[in-house]
Amino acid sequence: MAVNRDHIHELINRLSDNDLALVSDLMERLTQFPAYRDIPLDDEPTTQEDLDAIHAADEALEKGELISYKDIKHELRN
């Protein structure tokens, strides 16, 4: 599928208000630091160790055991 600005606008319009800050931050970084564009995509195969880590993170999220990004930023700044 070809990517164009109209498609990007459509995707942005579907985002929740909570996701807008994350997408805005990414877009700011991409426009301010063009070097990010040169970083290749990770093309290594997913290992069983990767899958186990993803599964463990999903379980921790479901149990509410994770620390929010907001709390981490607050802790680091204070």
What are the tens digits of pLDDT across the range 64-78?
A: 888 888 888 888 888
Instruction: Measure the CA angle with vertex 21, ends 77 and 57; round to 5°.
Output: 75
Mean pLDDT of the chain: 86
User: Which residue stretches of the chain have pLDDT < 50?
Assistant: none
Residue 36: what pLDDT? 65
Identify the residue whose tokens are 């990414």.
26
Residue 44: what pLDDT? 87
Percent of the residues in the chain that have a pLDDT greater than 90, as a whole number: 28
From CA 1, how far away is CA 9, in angstroms rounded? 15
Q: 0.95 cut: is pTM over it? A: no
According to DSSP, residue 74 is labeled H
